[in-house]
Chains A and B, each alone.
Chain A
Amino acid sequence: MTITIKVNGAARSVDADPDTPLLYVLTNDLELKGPRFGCGLAQCGSCSVLADGVEIRSCQTPISDVGQRAITTLEGLPALYAQQRKLPKAPDLHPLQQAFIDEQALHCGYCYNGQTIKGAELLSRTTSPTEAQIRDHMNGHLCRCGTYPRIMKSIQAAAAKMSKEG
């Protein structure tokens, strides 16, 4: 059946079974490559996207459950950031994406879609997170390579930059 969802600011119609996980619609039908399959069980966070600014696991979200919620994927993060911060124009990168590059945080990078989405969710709520808040908020996003220290450092660096910019 044809289902219309709102993704990265645009209405997108796809022909899919209603029980199809949102992840497969995003990656296979809409050809978005931010969200990634990690476990299919909502345990690792590789597939995370924002729904009305709140992080959800797209692998465990049937397309029929999306409804009117506005989905933002990694690709749409700079535009969402501009909207949240009332900037005239979307930057090339969300400050956290830039911080991850600046810190050379990634190893394999497979989990970084989720780390970025979840970290951006935190930064949309506070630009002065403590280390304890970061650990708590990010818990549930696994990184097998062990880049956690650089993720935490990057979130703090992005927060500092955002605070400075007001």
Chain B
Amino acid sequence: MNLSLNRRSFLTASSALVVAYAMNGPAKAQNPPGPPHKRRGVDAKQVDSYFVINADGTVTLYSGKVDLGTGHRIALPQIVADELGIEIERIAMIEGDTHLTPDQGSTSGSNGMMRGGVQTRQAAATARAALIKLGAARLGLPEADLDTAQGEVRAKNGSASVTFAALLAGGQFNLELDSKAPRRKPSEYRYVGKPVRRPDMPGKATGAHVWMHDFAVEGMLHGRSIYPPRPGARLVSVDEASIADIPGVKVVRIKDYLGVVAEREWHAEKAARQLKAQWDGGGLVTTSAQAQAYLRETGPRDTDEVAEKTGDFDAAWPQAVTKIKADYHWPMQSHASLGPSCAIADVRDGEATIWTASQGTHKFAEAFDGILQLPKGKVRQIYLDGAGCYGMNGHDDAAIDAAILSRAVGKPVRVQWSRADELAWDPKGPPQTLTIEAGLDGNQRVSTWRAHMWIPRPTPKLPNVPLVSPQLAGLPQMQGVATGSINIGAVPTYDIPHMEAVVHYVKDTPVRTSPLRAPGKLANLMAAESMMDALALGAGKDPLAFRLDHLKDPRSLDVLKKTAELHDWRPRVEPRRDGKGRGVAFTHYKGNETYVAMAVDVEVDRGTGAIRVTRVSCAHDCGQVISPDGVRAQIEGCLIQGVSRTLFEETRFDRERVTSVDWSSYRVIAFPEVPELKIALIDRPDKPPVGAGEAAIAPVAAAISNAVFDATGVRLQSAPFTPQRVRAAMAQSGTTAG
């Protein structure tokens, strides 16, 4: 096999080198077609922003959406190969370079395929129509008699053909995306819907892959930021003599920003640990233990809003025969990327080049223009793979740290966060607390449902999550709170006549936030699906059958029925209470995306309170499946990470700082705790593809909570479900240990 990327040649080549993923082998560092530094049009409405037809018959595909370990790097070429009519081996893909790839928005919210894929498919369909038109003129045949295949426009009867390259090599389409351009029928697909191997795996399995962390540029220095011991603290003084024994370190101080650079990474790291500085003031407004009270009572109040409303809850509530009310709480959690955030910046001569693992290079290039006070368009961001991020982690912070340091020292600087930086300073998934009250009518059907949510208010039109170091250095950036759409999911898609969601907004968050995989949905579904279970019990019905009774949509019914089959679901109308249990949960994600149902088995040690999830079965319908193994992999990841977030994860903080800053204080799932997984994909080739990156994590906490109830007769309403909480809940309910 050809592991062609030689690091040394990579290092000595042009700093604007671009990584292109060839679908026929490992990644190659290569210059993009055309003059290497030539900036391309990045307008997502223009076909030329997506493709170049090369003279050698290959196609270069440009993607504004990036592969975050999700398989986007193969799924997108699968779509384009089919839609254009070319072998996938002749496609090379370049991702997330703000000078080369279309501005398709951030890769977030599971939108890689749903938006990016659909958009790119339309660009390919438009291109194919144009190629057929050109082919018709060249071959003197009517367009209706032509098709595309293997990089050629061909007469359907095989009488004539002309290659894409002969029609267009070096030329441009000069076309806007045409929403009416005819798309291939699913029956014509060669690649979509079939497992195709990811191009980056061989390199990643052998160490040849170019990660952000490996990348280096000529003359680069290593930098580290030294963040304040308490957020908001002022930097009073720095004792440079405290690092006098470490050679070649330069201290960079800009207002309250403190950093070091050195030629050797170890020297930068040692200096960052050893440098003595005096800080004054700062701290956090509350503690993790008090987060629920902060949201409900003590935090700065914002407005209340009715987010969703069906029927008339207030009028119907008095008629409800059985009424249940419960509170639920979700902690702050870290993205907890396994590799720390890392970036390289070269800020010189009024321009900046940033190599970054950002989910949103276009967005942050613009933000960096502002922060660095450069004229618009002077920052180029180039995407390289980082460790999986599952939402916005610290990548963009590391990037601005590198830029601040690079500008200060006039050389390229690489910054890599420490483990403690990552777990303390990455923007966190926000805390949430909810109350749901719901009622059954005389027919034992759910008639009324009201959810109250206490959550931080996301700042309208905030362009990006505010970064740490510009704040410290007094550089301009827009302030505000980013959370993702955490107000969705507390009102279910069940057939319930009277429903209402009321959001009680808090003005701020105790610790900086950003979207974390399936923002808010684990908490909201834990609440809603645990309530649905309690209502089923109140109605004397099996929880799975009870859900089916409240759904009409066939795709919703299908995932639940498939789950019952996968898991060999046996109906029950009351909890087993013998330490073993099973639970079910369902979501129609965001009410209009992916359908997910799952069942889990748990074993609860009633002495220690430890929960073990032994088995998870999940049925998943994300519409048209582009890359089946990729979707399956994403579901597996969602289920495992979901168990982790439900059982183990909580960002802890006191009034000074985040205290869960390593893998023992911020615990994530490990080999011994991994459950057996069973997954069924329901493929709908005639439906649009929707997201697969996060929908399946959303019901995990709910399913576990319901299974624990089955095992113990106790409902857990605060995540994570630690042994202490299990013991306390059992003690409170009078369930005896043992």
Residues of A at the B interface (CB closer than 8 Å) are 16-17, 19-21, 24, 27-28, 31-34, 36-41, 43-44, 46, 73-75, 92-93, 97, 100-101, 104, 106-113, 116, 134-136, 138-150, 152
Contact = CB atoms under 8 A, between A and B. Distances in A.
Interface string B652-669: 000000000011100011
B337 interface: yes
Nearest to A74: B207
14 contacts: A20-B266, A28-B264, A36-B211, A41-B662, A97-B205, A107-B637, A108-B387, A109-B205, A110-B386, A112-B204, A142-B338, A144-B388, A145-B69, A146-B638
Given A38-B419, A44-B663, A149 B206 contact: no
A116 B640 contact: no
B618 interface: no
B204 A147 contact: no
Contact of B206 (A21, A37, A75): A75
Contacts of A142: 338, 663, 668, 670
B338 A149 contact: no
B663 A139 contact: no
Given A104-B633, A142-B670, A146-B669, A110 B641 contact: no
Contact of A75 (B198, B207, B669, B672): B207
A39 B205 CA distance: 20
B68 interface: yes
Given A41-B663, A149-B677, A104 B197 contact: yes
Contacts of A148: 640, 669, 671, 674
Interface in B184-228: 195, 197-198, 200-202, 204-209, 211, 213-214
B213 A36 contact: yes
B633 to A, nearest CB: 6
Given A21-B266, A33-B208, A40-B418, A107 B70 contact: yes
Contacts of A39: 419, 662-663
Main secondary structure of the interface of A (DSSP, over half): loop
Interface string B258-283: 00000011110000000000000000
Interface in B262-321: 264-267
Nearest to A96: B205
A134 B386 CA distance: 27
Nearest to A34: B207
A100 B198 CA distance: 12
A139 B385 CA distance: 26
A147 B634 CA distance: 9
B416 A145 contact: no
Contacts of B463: none
A138 B265 CA distance: 29
Interface in B624-650: 629, 633, 636-641, 644
Nearest to B267: A17
Contacts of B70: 107
B132 interface: no
B339 A145 contact: no
B633 A116 contact: no
A63 B71 CA distance: 37
Nearest to B385: A108
A112 B388 CA distance: 12
B311 to A, nearest CB: 40
A106 B69 CA distance: 8
Contact of A46 (B209, B338, B672): B338
Secondary structure of the B side of the interface? loop
A38 B205 contact: no
B211 A33 contact: yes
Contacts of A113: 207
A43 B340 contact: no
A57 B5 CA distance: 26
A31 B7 contact: yes
Contacts of B202: 101
B636 A146 contact: yes
B636 A139 contact: no
A33 B214 contact: yes
B505 to A, nearest CB: 31
A107 B265 CA distance: 28
Nearest to B633: A107
B336 interface: yes
A135 B387 contact: no
Contact of A17 (B1, B69, B266): B266
A39, A101, A111, A144 pick with most chain B CB within 10 angstroms: A144
A21 B269 CA distance: 11
B239 to A, nearest CB: 22
Contacts of B637: 107, 145-147
A41 B633 contact: no
A44 to B, nearest CB: 6
A89 to B, nearest CB: 15
Contacts of B205: 93, 97, 100-101, 106, 109, 112, 116
B79 to A, nearest CB: 18
Contacts of A145: 69, 338, 388, 637, 641
A152 B636 CA distance: 13
Contacts of B340: 37-38
A2 B552 CA distance: 74
Contacts of B69: 106-110, 145
Contact of B671 (A16, A43, A100, A135): A135
A5 B95 CA distance: 39
A140 B7 contact: no
B8 interface: yes
Given A20-B266, A135-B672, A37 B416 contact: yes
A144 B387 contact: yes
Instruction: Please name the 6 residue pairs, one residue from A and one from B, whose CB atoms are nearest each other, closest first.
Output: A146-B640, A108-B69, A34-B207, A108-B388, A109-B204, A110-B387
A142 to B, nearest CB: 6
Contacts of A140: 670
Interface in B444-465: none
Contacts of A28: 264-265
Contacts of A33: 7, 207-209, 211, 214
A91 B668 CA distance: 35
Nearest to A110: B387
B662 to A, nearest CB: 6
Nearest to B635: A146
Given A106-B205, A146-B641, A149-B677, 7 more contacts: A38-B339, A41-B663, A100-B205, A104-B195, A109-B205, A134-B671, A135-B672
